[in-house]
Structure 1
Amino acid sequence: MTPDVPPTDGPGGSPQWEQMLRAMLGPAADDAIREMREMGVDPAAMAAASGLPADPVALQQALAQVQQMLASAGDETVNWQMAHDLARQQAAIGGDPALSPGRVKEVRDALSVAELWLDAATDLPPAVGTSHAWSRAEWVEATLPAWRTLTEPVASSLATALADALGPAMGEMGGAFPGVSPAGGLGGDPAQLLRGLGSAVFGLQVGQAAGTLAREVFGTTDIGLPLLERPVPALVAANVDAFAEGLDAPVEEVRLYLALREAAASRLFAHVPWLRAHLLDAVAEYARGIAIDVDHLEAAVSAIDPTDPAALQEALSGGVFAPQTTPAQQAALARLEHALALVEGWVDEVATTAAAPHLPHAAPLREMVRRRRAAGGPAEQTFASLVGLELRPRRLRDAATVWAHLTSTRDVAGRDAVWEHPDLVPTPQDLDDPAGFDARRQAEVDESADLDRALAQILGDGEPDGATGTAGTTDDATDDEGTSGAPTS
């Protein structure tokens, strides 16, 4: 619907939306406006519905921000400068003061005590490096490189799939989508404009999620994936204190329990060399299989009202561009979910075992953390809607039961030795039946021994007589019943 009186305070009395389009599109604006009207789209209605500022100065500022957003993406799949800036802004919501020396000492002392208690609960030694007490902004700066590793494979595959799906249609439209003028930083290539928009959207999503997580996480291992290339324990002091509010346990006890979990996970990632790559490879394998349902995409786009900002926002957030999930991707997600459960279950068991002799509220704290991880948070939900990855260990309790069973049957050293190779760790079947773990492993050993004997017999029978001796030539070749031990032909 066209506004009754469009703003006409631009040069020559032309509407503000028209001035905006001319500033963005240059000489191509007249053709673009005409084509939009021929398609039944009223630019004035779109401008009014989108909430564009009527003030000329504010409008120019908004336009400059859009141009900068598109131009700053460059060739990056994700606009990382935008992600960084937004993450810092989100992390600062509600305040994020620098930690005083006293607060830093409280956190580091808790992590030091946690390391001492863990020595009795695991054979894995402490991670090498200095522990950290961080503000939320410091957590963002330290972990953003890991988000790059995690999200770029998915963003790249999705961008390629979208380009393949929309490329032919955009080629047919040709000049209908002139880009921002060269002065604005982009040429007139529609595909380049699409890549810039995609990069900006991913930058916004990642920045929003990372910044929101910065207000929720306790350390660097809360989501099960290693967020530091060289793991060392760290705690976000403000988030620990916020979690302790309303609990029956003293804040000092809560801090110690969370320090135990963080230090235990850091030990695991530091001393199980294959684990980090295993988790990240599952994410990359999922990304390689991304495909777009072109028919669904076209139907969804045609159903969107371009004058409805809420519908457009929903489309950009992943509802319209949601990738299909193939069987291969489902398998990769299942492996990732299983690995996350094993990590969380081990940390849960080890940290609580270490805490039990010292912290009166160890059991209720364990349950609180379990429920928190099972429910997830808004940032995790954002990543799930963006790339389909849910970083929640659904079988945490089953995995913790398996590790407790191994502690009772193999002691601490035997339990932790299971991490030496990915083929040794508990399987989904072990999570279904923890008590049968040892019986299944023994059956695998017996089966392997039977196979070795069968191969030895085949290889022995196939060797020439000169290598093994001729049947009946020695007493050693005769069995207890006096018959030849070698088969006759």
Structure 2
Amino acid sequence: MTEFPFGFGPPNPDDRDKKDQSGQGGSGGQQNPAEAFNQLGQMLSQLGQMLSQAGSSSGPVNYDLAKQIALQKLSGQPGFGPPADSATAVRDAVHLAEMWLDPVTILPAGATQARSWTARDWVEHTLPTWQRLCDPVARRVSGAWVEALPAEAKEAAGPLLSMVGQMGGMAFGSQLGNALAQLASEVLTSTDIGLPLGPPATAALVPANIEEFTKGLERPSSEVMVFLAAREAAHQRLFAHVPWLRQRLLGTVEEFASGIRVDTSALEQLATQVDPTNPQSIEEAMRSGMLEPQTTPEQKTALARLETLLALVEGWVDVVVGDAVGDRLPGADAMRETLRRRRASGGPAEQTFATLVGLELRPRRLRAAASLWRLLGDRHGLEARDGVWAHPDLVPTAEDLDEPMDFADRLGNPALEGDPIAEIERTAPHDPPETPEEK
């Protein structure tokens, strides 16, 4: 998990030094909690006029601002658009990839259209999903401290609390916009970070980013394009024909966000760190780490479940794509290893996501998951391997990644795989036989 979840950042040492010199924020500048809350109420009142000019926004994040910032940053980058003929190249690559995937999986093609996206297109088409992912986090972070305010502080703030929420939405929107701009300049496909961010049944590639990615591979650009198209098409097959998968992935992120808890004792420092005459001080206070959420046991459980599911998705895609292109693309193995390391190292894209949603999106056990899918295919065939996706209760767990042979044995035993009563009898403790006296 990232050290500073969505809406937060590391404290600025210069700011801390200034506070120490002024007698605020240091050990000698202790302030009575009641005075701090009263000062907070006065601060909120003074912010009224400023916030009334900030524009309207609903919800915990100002997504209009986020989109505006992201698009502005991307338009300022040279070469952010794709080559003129990229649309044809993408369609041809996806079509070829689908033909190669057909013999190596029982899941049919899931994409009904292939699209060439610019970085700006990626922002526009994935923003609805980002809204679903970020809203629970921002709502918990921005709402927890307001809910914990004493009655006198709430009364002093009155309706201006909604304006503070508006300012928080602008602060979150600004952070989201900058993060999306960074992601959009790096992602290669719509499923590059493992989540179904784009519209359903749409295989989308970002040719400008792929061109930059290709420079370090020493492989023909057409070969790299087909390889990445195969990965995108494989992801789309899973998301289209495993109905529960999309909801389970996004729902687990939401579950993680719902467990956020904020240490409200930090509210005593809020008034001393905000200058009512300086709008930027609101965002700086929110990013300072003073309201940093604590990881709960429920969040750790959700995070472990998400990491396992991501590893299973990426491992399946890795195996299927390897079977589809291994004998056709000379550089396939090298590209597979490059992407594995790219995901496992937690590059800028994963770090940005960690800032946005509060967790790291790295399938740490990708290799173990790929080995498990390979074992299942070799022992039981494609139909049994891909049939595991039929229900969420059938997919391997983290423990199964530790003991892949045991999972393969259970999959090959119809009595245990398809009969829940047999499974209960297998796992339930057996009582010793009754003695004559007990009878």
Settle same-fold status: TM greater than 0.5: yes
Task: Give runs of aligned pairs for residues 391-402 of structure 1, distance below 5 A.
Answer: 391-402=361-372
Tell me, in whole angstroms, the C-alpha distance in 2 between the residues paired with 1:384 and 1:444: 39
Tell me whether 1:231 sits opposite 2:215 in the alignment: no
Tell me whether 1:339 sits opposite 2:309 in the alignment: yes
Tell me, in whole angstroms, the C-alpha distance in 2 between the residues paired with 1:355 and 1:315: 51
Tell me, in whole angstroms, the C-alpha distance in 2 between the residues paired with 1:382 and 1:169: 38
Query: Is contact 1:139-1:214 (8 Å) kept?
Result: yes
Query: Is contact 1:96-1:137 (8 Å) kept?
Result: no
- Aligned partner letter, 1:141: E
Task: Give runs of aligned pairs for residues 303-382 of structure 1, distance below 5 A.
Answer: 304=273, 315-317=285-287, 319-382=289-352
Tell me whether 1:256 sits opposite 2:256 in the alignment: no
Q: Give unpaired runs (5+ residues) of structure 1.
A: 1-34, 44-63, 176-187, 456-488
Q: Give unpaired runs (5+ residues) of structure 2.
A: 1-34, 44-48, 429-438
Aligned residues: 383
Aligned to 1:273: 243
- Aligned partner letter, 1:201: A
Tell me, in whole angstroms, the C-alpha distance in 2 between the residues paired with 1:110 and 1:368: 20
- Shift of residue 270 of structure 1? 0.7
- Shift of residue 447 of structure 1? 7.7
Tell me whether 1:114 sits opposite 2:114 in the alignment: no
Aligned to 1:192: 162
Aligned to 2:27: none
Tell me whether 1:71 sits opposite 2:52 in the alignment: no
1:172-223 CA-to-partner distances (Å, cap 9, x unmatched) read: 7x37xxxxxxxxxxxx833122201111111112222222111111111011
Secondary structure, aligned partner of 1:321: coil
Task: Give runs of aligned pairs for residues 121-136 of structure 1, distance below 5 A.
Answer: 121-136=104-119
Aligned to 1:158: 141
Secondary structure, aligned partner of 1:120: helix
Tell me, in whole angstroms, the C-alpha distance in 2 between the residues paired with 1:252 and 1:270: 26
Give the stretch that moved more between structures: 283-292 or 396-405.
283-292
Aligned to 1:385: 355
Tell me, in whole angstroms, the C-alpha distance in 2 between the residues paired with 1:376 and 1:315: 28
Tell me, in whole angstroms, the C-alpha distance in 1 between the residues paired with 2:404 and 2:420: 21
- Shift of residue 449 of structure 1? 2.1
Larger radius of gyration: 1
Tell me, in whole angstroms, the C-alpha distance in 1 between the residues paired with 2:150 and 2:347: 36
Give the stretch that moved more between structures: 354-363 or 432-441.
432-441
Tell me whether 1:282 sits opposite 2:266 in the alignment: no
Query: Is contact 2:140-2:258 (8 Å) kept?
Result: yes
Q: Of 51, 63, 66, which residue of structure 2 is paired with 1:80?
A: 63
- Aligned partner letter, 2:122: W
With the length of structure 1 as denominator, give the TM-score of the two structures: 0.71
Q: 1:304 to 1:383 in 2, by over 3 A?
A: farther
Query: Is contact 1:135-1:237 (8 Å) kept?
Result: yes
Secondary structure, aligned partner of 1:416: helix
1:367-398 CA-to-partner distances (Å, cap 9, x unmatched) read: 10011111223343233234422111111111
Q: 1:384 to 1:128 in 2, by over 3 A?
A: closer
Tell me, in whole angstroms, the C-alpha distance in 1 between the residues paired with 2:349 and 2:252: 20
Tell me, in whole angstroms, the C-alpha distance in 1 between the residues paired with 2:50 and 2:347: 30
- Shift of residue 127 of structure 1? 1.4
- Shift of residue 128 of structure 1? 4.1
1:215-259 CA-to-partner distances (Å, cap 9, x unmatched) read: 111111011111134132110010100000122222111111111
- Aligned partner letter, 1:222: D
- Shift of residue 325 of structure 1? 1.5
Structure scoring higher RCO (CA < 8 A, sep ≥ 6) equals: 2
- Aligned partner letter, 2:55: A
- Aligned partner letter, 1:226: P
Task: Give runs of aligned pairs for residues 385-464 of structure 1, distance below 5 A.
Answer: 385-441=355-411, 442=413, 444-445=416-417, 448-449=421-422, 451=424
> How many percent of aligned residue pairs carry the same amino acid?
46
